[in-house]
Amino acid sequence: MTIQEIKNRFGIIGSSSLLDRAIDIAKQVAPTDLTVLITGESGTGKEVFPKIIHNLSARKHGQYIAVNCGAIPEGTIDSELFGHEKGSFTGAHEARKGYFEVANGGTIFLDEVAEMPLATQARLLRVLESGEFIKVGSSKVLKTDVRVVAATNVNIGQAIEKGKFREDLFYRLNTVPITVPALRDRKQDIHLLFRKFAADFSAKYRMPTIKLNEEAEQLLTNYYWQGNVRQLKNITEQISVIEKQRDINAAIMINYLPQRETSQLPMVINSNSAQGGGDFSERDLLYKVLFDMKKDLQDLKKIVVDLIENDNQLNQDFQPENAPLIKKLYQEVGSPETTLQLGYNNTTPTFVKTKDEQPIQAVITEENLSLHEIEEDMIKKALTKHKGKRKNAAKELGISERTLYRKINEYNIN
């Protein structure tokens, strides 16, 4: 059976390569008895794949039972799956067969398997490994021959880290993984699905079929579709019933598309900080930028130091006319015994040029990024430049003369 024949038989709409890949895997694994785990977002149509696997397998004449593990209360799920004996708990007036016993020789589909309690997960693991189970309230071991197909829309890896899902059960279920693509990853299929649903609702409610113009179709295609195919179907039904106008434009369509509350900006914020109530503000971003700048500055200083320490090689490889930066550096060093300091105080490399033109040596001390020291140094330089005239110094610093006077007293500047 081809992929297109499978689509026709099970009512699958779409031509996405991701969808075709998922169908092909289901087709290939169907003749085997391997356990299959189907993953994908809610509303993508995961429930159709167990049916494909069952109907294309040798078990197609056996029972097919679909169980929603998230809809069964924790206190009764063991009884539902494995059965119970009469009087095993309050309300157990008679013995009952569980799904694994009823589906013997067939297929059981465990939807939302990640919602299963840990104790039930241990029972399920035993069934998968040995085909054995025990009814609630019994000590007799029973055997079953059931093909298990499971599905979940939960991130199993995160569930394992939180201790909500057994890791050994995951590996046992995930013998063959099938990933059902989200609708937003099947953009070419969105309008096809809309037309199919619109035609179905037109026949159901006996009214003309709704149609989209080009702008409405584009809006539909570019929407995020968090609810996937289920959401698209619901919106199509709403429009079909509510709108009297059968030609739908973008202005009408946008009224039926809920706006997402969450931001889609490509920025990741630490989830631990968010959960812990921490503030992720501009201050954090500024700190990050400053630390990056500090690292870049230190790297640049190391490069300059390496160039100067290898003065002989530098003179050979970088002639002054071809290396303006090095030429300028030597000009700034000036006459013998002069020094060139970069930065503030003695917190950065100091370069010394000797009388006999020996290679320049560099001494690197720990960098000091104290804002007070930087501010004090800038004030001193401004006062020196303007020969102690506070008005001119304050103007160059961009502060008021009163603020400058206060800073002079604060730092005891003579």
CATH of domain 3-181: 3.40.50.300
What tens digit of pLDDT does each residue of 346-392 get? 444 444 444 444 544 444 444 455 667 788 888 888 888 888 888 88
CATH: 3.40.109.10, 3.30.420.40, 1.10.8.60, 3.30.70.580. Which one for 186-256? 1.10.8.60
| Fold observed for domain 371-411 | Arc Repressor Mutant, subunit A (1.10.10)
Place of tokens 């503000």: 281
Whole-number pLDDT of residue 288: 63
Residue-range domain boundaries for the chain:
3-181, 186-256, 282-363, 371-411
pLDDT of residue 342: 41
End-to-end CA distance of the chain: 94
Taking only the tens place, the pLDDT of each residue in 129-160 is 999 999 999 999 999 999 999 999 999 999 99
**Position 310: which residue type?**
N
Tell me what percent of the chain is helix, strand and coil, each rounded to the nearest 5: 50, 10, 35
pLDDT reported for residue 285: 60
Low-confidence stretches of the chain (pLDDT beneath 70) = 260-289, 291, 305, 307-371
pTM: 0.62
* Beta-ladder partners of 132: 143
Question: For residues 88 and 138, is the Cβ–Cβ distance under 8 A?
Answer: yes
